[in-house]
Structure 1
Amino acid sequence: MSQLLADKAIIITGGTRGIGLAIAVACLAEGARVLITGRSQESVDQALEKTRHPDMHGVAANVASEEDTIKVFELAIQKFGKVDMLVNNAGIARAGAVQNLRAKDFQMVMDTNLTGAFLYSREAFRVMKDNGGGRILNIGSISSQTPRFGSVPYTTSKFGLQGMTRALQIDGRELGIMVSCLHPGNVHTDIWDKAPQSVVDEPKMEVKDIARVAVLMLSMPDNTTIIDATVLDPRQPFLGRG
């Protein structure tokens, strides 16, 4: 049986844990070669040790750093000779009533969730336009459609990422670069460690389930793209939630 992502070279930001690592493992299972990034070398080493796959590579990089981003792509080209796909997964959240939020916390979320996605997408365009195209998958959130209370930085970043996705879709159209956004609902990750109990108690998906959808979006035929996908546990409050 043929593998869906055979010989595809993929960069995944924030790939050391949670959704990012699950997507990396799912892509490896479908024949891809993967380079993950993480905020520290320790987190990268732990992910590589946990995965133990010959086609899994990793590097510590700040997604909001232009210099680091360029180096990540140079490393990918060195190891794979190309970059076919990019998954912009790196993301953080800072929650609380808006009147209590610090400007630096808001900016930190923007730097990671938006600036990082821009920098990696820009480098992907530079590489992919001369290589017959490629795919970029942005990991958004249902918060880009229905926000929660106390989520101004995170919600703003995810609305922005949705807008960036749409603009990149247009810019990539004539270059053969397809850009999509995957919006997960609640997923079992450590992001819930500091969440309110009422939110913690909501139904959640497993990371492997969202990774399965990511693989589907990345592996569509060259003449087909999934622009947006919203995936969540059907019991989770979303439609009609306050």
Structure 2
Amino acid sequence: MSRVALVTGGTRGIGEAICTALKDAGYTVVANYGGNDEAAKAFTERTGIPSFKFDVSDFEKTKDAIAQIESDYGPVDILINNAGITRDGTMHRMSFEQWDAVIQTNLASCFNTCRSVIDGMRGRGFGRIVNIGSVNGQAGQYGQVNYAAAKSGIHGFTKALALEGAAKGITVNAIAPGYVDTDMVRAVPEEVLKKIVATIPVGRLGKPEDIANAVMFLVGDEAGFMTGSTLSINGGQHMY
């Protein structure tokens, strides 16, 4: 029986590329999404991958949904925390609602999903968790104190959980993408996007597949000695 992989924010952009790569490799894949029913339906029709709608920022809803997924498809051995939103604004203009929405969806969701699968992973002696951070969580970004804080938090969360899971066969790693050609990035004004691309040494935006390829390595048996790491995939935009 193939291992079950759950990808949050899995029906579009980077999440869709990850789901497709996992399915092509023989995993049983389930995608989560938060609100776009039309896109989720099209995704499932296109890929054959089931999509479950639930709010990853809500602990009880996440716990119940994952219990249902495990009942339907089997225990989740691979978890990809990819769900994320932006609510940009400079600090002096940012509302608490903008701050809280991003922190809850991007960071608290990692606790909600991991808490729902960690006992099972520990009991089975195997788990692969990959958390999607961001270059802006490493370098910061003007107008994104909420997003940068959440993504930076993911990087610290990854290291701490990696220490807890290592002896139980659970690896926990993160990927920090740079600017990738997704709906979120395409929403940036064209003149701003041109300036961003000009700061990327390879001279282009990333592709969702660039991130998916790294996920495929991290979830494999070959990566069993790699945990607590953050892979920076940003075209050379930020090196440290």
TM-score normalised according to structure 1 size: 0.89
Structure 2: distance between partners of 1:239 and 1:225: 20
Structure 2: distance between partners of 1:121 and 1:223: 18
Structure 1: distance between partners of 2:113 and 2:44: 22
Structure 2: distance between partners of 1:32 and 1:146: 34
Asked if 1 retains the 8 angstrom alpha-carbon contact of 2:78 and 2:127, the reply is yes
* Partner AA of 2:61 in structure 1: D
* 2:41 aligned residue (45, 48, 63): 45
Structure 2: distance between partners of 1:198 and 1:160: 30
Q: 2:63 corresponds to which residue?
A: 70
Asked if 1 retains the 8 angstrom alpha-carbon contact of 2:128 and 2:170, the reply is yes
Structure 2 unaligned regions, length at least 5 = 198-203
Q: 1:35 corresponds to which residue?
A: 30
Asked if 1 retains the 8 angstrom alpha-carbon contact of 2:54 and 2:61, the reply is yes
How many pairs does the alignment contain? 230
Equivalent positions of 1:145-160 (< 5 A) are: 145-160=138-153
Structure 2: distance between partners of 1:186 and 1:199: 12
Structure 1: distance between partners of 2:51 and 2:114: 18
In structure 2, the residue corresponding to 1:129 is in which secondary structure?
helix
Structure 1: distance between partners of 2:85 and 2:68: 25
Equivalent positions of 1:1-242 (< 5 A) are: 7-40=2-35, 41-51=37-47, 53=48, 56-201=49-194, 202=197, 203-221=204-222, 223-226=224-227, 227-234=229-236, 237-239=237-239
In structure 1, the residue corresponding to 2:139 is in which secondary structure?
coil
Residue identity over aligned pairs, in percent, reads 30
Structure 1 unaligned regions, length at least 5 = 1-5
Structure 2: distance between partners of 1:144 and 1:67: 27
In structure 1, the residue corresponding to 2:88 is in which secondary structure?
coil
Q: 1:3 corresponds to which residue?
A: none
